[in-house]
C-alpha cells in the first residue's frame, strides 16, 4: 500500500505538470468553457436589464400633491370622507408625514363631489374603523396605492419609522415564476452539454500516453494500473467539477 500511494502521488504530480505545460489542452478547455458561458452571461444580463426597466416604484406624488402643484401636474388632493362622527387629527397628521395634503369632507354621497384621483372613506362600526378606497376612472394603480397609503399611515400611528414601498411590474408573479423556471431548466440543459464536452478534452492526455506506449513502459517498470488511473482521476475529476 505504501508503494501504491507513492505511485499515485507520482502520477498526480506528472499529470499536474503536463496540464501546466500543455497549452493546447488549456486553450481548448478555456475556449469550450468561454463558448458555452458567454451566451449564458448575455442572457442573464439582458434579463436583468429588462426586469429593471419593466418595473418601477409607485409613489403618491403623481396622484396626490399639494394644492399649489396639482394644476400643473394634473393631480388632486387625497379626498378623505369622514363618516366617523368625530375628528381624525392623528390620522390626518400621519397622512401629512407622507407628503400628502388631504382634503376632508363630511359628505356621504361621493358622486356629488368634484373630481379627485382617489378617496378614502373612514367609517366607524361599533368600536372598529372601516376603510373604503375609491378611485377615478383614469388613474392607473390607484387602488394598490391607496391601500399602501393606509398601511403606511398605520405604521406612523404606531410610531414606526418603517415604510412599505409599492412596485409595479409588467409580468405577474405567476408569469415571472414560470419564466424563471423556464430559464433555469434551459441553462441547466445547456450546462449539461458543456459537462459532456469536457471529459474528451481531459482524456486527450491519456490517449497520447497510449500512442507513445508510455503507459506500457510504466507497467513494465512496476506501476500498478490502478495507481495510474487513480492518480489521473484525482486531478481530472476535481478539475472537471471546478469547471
- pLDDT of amino acid 71: 47
Q: Which residues of the chain have pLDDT under 50?
A: 67, 69-72, 174
- pLDDT of amino acid 212: 76
- pLDDT of amino acid 99: 80
- pLDDT of amino acid 172: 52
- pLDDT of amino acid 105: 80
- pLDDT of amino acid 82: 85
- pLDDT of amino acid 9: 92
- Enumerate the domain spans of the chain: 1-53+176-242, 59-169
Q: Which CATH class is domain 59-169?
A: alpha beta
74 φ/ψ sector (left φ>0, alpha ψ -120 to 50, else beta): left
Rounded distance, CA 107 to CA 118, Å? Answer: 15
- pLDDT of amino acid 147: 92
- pLDDT of amino acid 69: 47
- pLDDT of amino acid 151: 92
- Residue 45, classed as helix, strand or coil, is helix
pLDDT in tens, 187-207: 787 778 777 777 776 777 677
For the entire predicted model, the pTM comes to 0.47
pLDDT in tens, 25-64: 777 777 777 777 787 788 778 877 776 666 677 888 777 7
- pLDDT of amino acid 221: 83
- pLDDT of amino acid 142: 83
Amino acid at each position: 500500500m505504501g508503494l501504491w500511494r507513492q505511485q499515485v502521488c507520482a502520477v498526480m504530480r506528472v499529470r499536474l505538470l503536463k496540464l501546466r505545460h500543455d497549452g493546447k489542452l488549456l486553450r481548448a478547455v478555456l475556449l469550450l468553457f468561454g463558448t458555452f458561458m458567454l451566451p449564458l452571461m448575455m442572457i442573464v444580463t439582458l434579463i436583468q436589464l429588462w426586469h429593471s426597466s419593466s418595473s418601477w416604484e409607485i409613489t403618491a406624488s403623481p396622484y396626490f400633491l399639494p394644492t399649489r402643484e396639482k394644476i400643473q401636474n394634473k393631480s388632486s388632493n387625497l379626498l378623505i370622507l369622514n363618516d366617523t362622527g368625530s375628528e381624525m387629527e392623528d390620522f390626518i397628521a400621519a397622512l401629512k408625514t407622507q407628503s400628502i395634503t388631504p382634503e376632508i369632507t363630511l359628505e356621504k354621497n361621493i358622486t356629488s363631489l368634484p373630481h379627485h384621483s382617489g378617496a378614502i372613506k373612514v367609517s366607524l362600526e361599533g368600536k372598529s374603523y372601516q376603510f373604503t378606497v375609491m378611485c377615478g376612472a383614469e388613474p392607473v394603480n390607484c387602488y394598490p396605492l391607496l391601500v399602501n397609503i393606509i398601511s403606511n399611515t398605520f405604521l406612523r400611528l404606531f410610531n414606526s419609522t418603517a415604510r412599505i414601498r409599492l412596485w409595479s411590474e409588467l409580468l405577474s408573479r405567476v408569469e415571472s415564476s414560470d419564466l424563471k423556471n423556464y430559464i433555469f431548466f434551459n441553462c441547466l440543459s445547456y450546462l449539461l452539454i458543456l459537462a459532456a464536452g469536457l471529459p474528451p478534452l481531459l482524456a486527450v492526455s491519456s490517449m497520447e500516453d497510449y500512442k507513445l506506449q508510455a503507459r506500457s513502459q510504466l507497467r513494465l517498470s512496476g506501476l500498478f494500473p490502478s495507481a495510474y488511473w487513480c492518480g489521473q482521476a484525482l486531478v481530472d475529476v476535481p478539475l472537471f467539477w471546478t469547471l
